[in-house]
Amino acid sequence: MATEEVVEIETYTDKNDQLVDILHNQVKDNTCLRISDQQFSIDRRETPAYSKLLAISNVYGYIVAGTPKGLSVFMSKDAREELLKGTSKGTNTAVALKARKEIDLAQHGRITHVGVSADELSVLVATVKGNILVFSAASLVSQGSSTPIKTVSVGKEIRDMCPNPKDLPTTAAVVTVAGDLVVIDMVAGTVTTIVASSTAKVLCVCWSPKGKQLVCGDSSGTLTQRTPNDGTIKRTVTALTNDNHIPDRAAVLAVQWIDQHTYFAVYGQLPEDAFAAGCGGGGSASDDDEFEDNATAAYVITRADKKSPLEWIYIEDPCSAMMCPGRYPGFHFASISDWGPSAQNIVIMSGAGSDATLTIGEAATDKTDDGAADPLSLDWAQWDIDGSMAVMPLSALATEDSSDTFPLGLAVDFTGHQDLPPVVDDGGRVKPVPILWILNTDACLLAYHVSNIYEMSRGGRSKLMVDAVKQLPGASPKTSFATGTAFGGAFGSKTSETPKAGAFASASTATPSFASASSGFGASSGF
């Protein structure tokens, strides 16, 4: 294995100002969309704090959400239309989404994570039993099929699941509750250990934007960039030691790899029994008070190029679990990599026990002589959008006293076609904007327009907007796992660090096996 490269820390910045306005306004005021007849429990043993239960396909226009008993599947167009047509009865109205398919997966155990493959033809579902179920998206959307086309077992409860976004489409990175980092291959059915829990306790993982490398955060507060085939360490970033924002004994609780030279990381203290199965993220059986004093700190960690020193940009109040300490330490993210020249990167986050969202971004701080955003002035900072941010409402379904709701997943929809009202005086209607969907513990979806007022006032729109979604292939689509190249074909069951015998169960196939394939992993450069 390669020698670790320890990156020296040179600069630290505390920034919370931005000239560009990014606003979140509800698609329909005081209205949410109910996607299941059953609410979620907020008890972390019933609904783990690390659950991530919402995924979207912007290529084919479908949304998959976890429910207490399985999945709810529907088209994003239907969700937007039914939300807008629903009759609001005042504050906090829940409109039932009729055009949905609810799929009972109770026989597989509780659902903890939902994701889509790189080509968006397959849906990945993680269960509390430590299995990854792979479904044909077309079969889910058209038939509501409850039969996976593949099942791979990692043998341990799953804390995090991250499907590869591009270059290795048959793979997903998985973090176990015990602290292992593995990469699963859906063609070969292999489980490749990248980091064994006996050597480091991994808590979170994210692929590079191109899907060629991984970054993981562990209980020591260290970020490690690794290759996905054998775990070779490419870069190590240790937590700041001279900063009073990071608490003592801080772990990396969450990480996002934003661009080639930029991470976003959340640091905080771990609860007791954080690595014990069945605890939903740690802590004792019933006492939420133990979480109340846990401090968190978030940073954009960036540099201009590979030879430049790192800059740490402090982000204030990263959606702590103040409203529901028992939901600590889970976090959710959604990203927009282009909202016009003035906002090159936007990250929206929320905490599993928070009632608010946080928006950070890399945006222009100055203009050119003709009023356009100056690309040389791009800088990272936090947007202060109090009064115009996505928030968790009180329960729309409470039968007695109103109760708080909390997020279970975020996703950005780029397929909307509805023009919006003018954003400047005497202006015309503006082009469609991205929509942020939030799944909450009511099993309801909240919908917010993500508006860049500067670009909208100039007639601009996000380059990520989709003019027309594609038709999903038929009931038996050629999924990425049937036609793609197999990551596991090259690596087999090779492990970079071997766990104890029996740590991972062998993979099983629930339906006829996929077509054979060979490895597509190469040594190409870039991230």
Contacts of 387 (CB under 8 A, 6+ apart): none
Q: 4 falls in which pLDDT band (50, 70, 90)?
A: very low
- Which residue bears the tokens 């976090």? 331
Per DSSP, the three-state class of 74 is strand
Per-residue pLDDT tens digits for 187-208: 888 999 999 998 889 999 999 9
Could you read off the pLDDT of 153-183 as tens digits, one per residue? 999 999 999 999 999 999 999 999 999 999 9
Q: Residue range 443-449: average pLDDT? A: 96
Lowest mean pLDDT among 16-20, 178-182, 204-208, 448-452: 16-20
How does residue 16 score in pLDDT terms, banded at 50, 70 and 90? Answer: very low
Q: What is the mean pLDDT of residues 62-76?
A: 97
384 pLDDT band, cuts 50/70/90, is: low
End-to-end CA distance of the chain: 20
Structure confidence by residue, pLDDT tens digits, 302-348: 998 888 899 999 988 777 777 787 788 899 999 999 998 888 899 99
**Which amino acid, 257?**
W
Structure tokens that stand for 26 in this block: 């509800």
- Helices (H) and strands (E) counted in the chain, each on its own, are 5, 31
Q: What is the pLDDT of residues 366-381, one digit of tens each?
A: 777 676 766 667 788 7
* Per-residue pLDDT at 90: 65
Confidence of residue 137 (pLDDT cuts 50, 70, 90): very high
Residue 412 has pLDDT above 80, yes or no: yes
Residue keyed to tokens 């199965």 = 277
pLDDT band at 397 (very low <50, low <70, confident <90, very high): confident
Furthest CA-CA distance within the chain: 70
- Phi and psi at 77, nearest 5°, equal -60, -45
- Residue 124's closest CA among 101, 142, 108, 143? 108
CB 1 within 8 A of CB 232: yes
- Within 13 Å, how many C-alpha atoms sit on residue 84's CB side? 11
Q: Give whole-number Cα distances, 429 to 120, 160, 406, 447, in Å.
A: 32, 41, 33, 20
The Cβ of residue 54 has, within 10 Å, a number of other Cβ atoms equal to 25
Are the C-beta atoms of 187 and 169 separated by less than 8 Å? no
What domains appear along the chain, each with residue ranges and CATH number?
A: 9-491 (2.130.10.10)
